Structure 1
């Protein structure tokens, strides 16, 4: 089966990482290393391995460090999208639209870490992507299998992959894993000019019956605090290093 891989990705690296202090006092969160390599590089390496040719990377907090870190990187080809004011996830993508083109793109949070299952997650997403039926396809992780995550979850998923956001004070079995395929035009149409969350885009897609998910079949680490980073590295040292290295 031929799988069409999006040629362009948006890597979201602008967050302030407040919960990661003191590690983020002098370093942006995406540059914090996991197993000796910055989380940002793990994400970009996965995109390169999947066949993505271009990555737009936004930045805000200590953004010059991110630009300097990426200045010599050639695969994927990097375009920087610095933000003078923090635009959140949706606003960050909207600002970068001139660089993203019109075809569906990956967006990847730069402060997450995952291990692939038998088929790389980015390729699995591309294989499931159906633009005739979908506006966004989210990689999801079962909350019970997430390392370092103790929140209430984000979505319910029906047998066909259709998503419904959890109601207030409700628990949901899946958390957004920080990776998706999405149509860039959704960020241009009737959206705020400043900061806004991608939740706006997802809620509209859900209302139209065009928001879908795919359950991740590997490991996923929520690295939100220094303690979460230590937990992830401890677990990876026991069983994950071999899987990361290949």
Structure 2
């Protein structure tokens, strides 16, 4: 089966509380980093990957995201009156995303490419008959702006496993992934995290992952902006 990967979603509905006071007047996805907004950087990567239909959810200062994307007929908005988190947000947008696997990208992270663009690597690694979700991971030791303990380990077959009770894990989830609509069968209603569906897929052996070979950046606070911009420009 040939998978077109023509559709994608950008998650852009967060409140950006840690980025205040900037995000009191600007939604976090529209914060410029090294001269380009984080939302535009995500859309640039999807455009380069050949995606022809992009859905962007929005909540906080959603009208500014709507105005920013005006004139892009290939982009549809999925407004949320109440925050639905990652799982609820994608679930609401499913009617706009088709019936084939699609990319999902967080609008509050940045990445630089390795030898092959990350979305191309994800597309090449996708195996439709055995995957419901394919996550892009990154080594915690080289992630910029991340101070958490990590999310996943990888076994000898390259399959991801949760950190569990371990103090640290070698890989974090980047916020870049491929999901299949079947992942959302019997999904909870309303607000919920995609982690609920990852864990279900993991229990059935249908969660997969690859490791990013470029750079990855999280801009969590206004104080982090200068160092991330310097790294991007370098």
Equivalent residue number for residue 183 of structure 1:
180
Aligned residue runs from structure 1 range 1-246, under 5 A: 4-74=3-73, 77-168=74-165, 170-187=167-184, 189-237=185-233, 239=234
Distance 1:221 1:86, change over 3 A: same
Paired residues in the alignment total 233
Cα distance in 2, alignment partners of residues 34 and 28 from structure 1 = 13
Cα-Cα RMSD: 1.2
CA contact (8 A) 2:151 2:162 kept: yes
Equivalent residue number for residue 244 of structure 1:
none
Cα distance in 2, alignment partners of residues 66 and 197 from structure 1 = 22
Distance 1:213 1:223, change over 3 A: same
Cα deviation 1:135-185 (Å, max 9, x = unaligned)? 111000100010111100011112322111111452110000110011123
Gaps of 5+ in 1: 240-246
Cα distance in 2, alignment partners of residues 108 and 161 from structure 1 = 22
Cα distance in 2, alignment partners of residues 50 and 13 from structure 1 = 19
CA contact (8 A) 2:132 2:182 kept: no
Give the superposition deviation at 1:211: 0.8
CA contact (8 A) 1:152 1:172 kept: yes
CA contact (8 A) 1:162 1:210 kept: no
TM-score scaled by length of structure 2: 0.96
Divergent runs of 4+, >3 A:
none
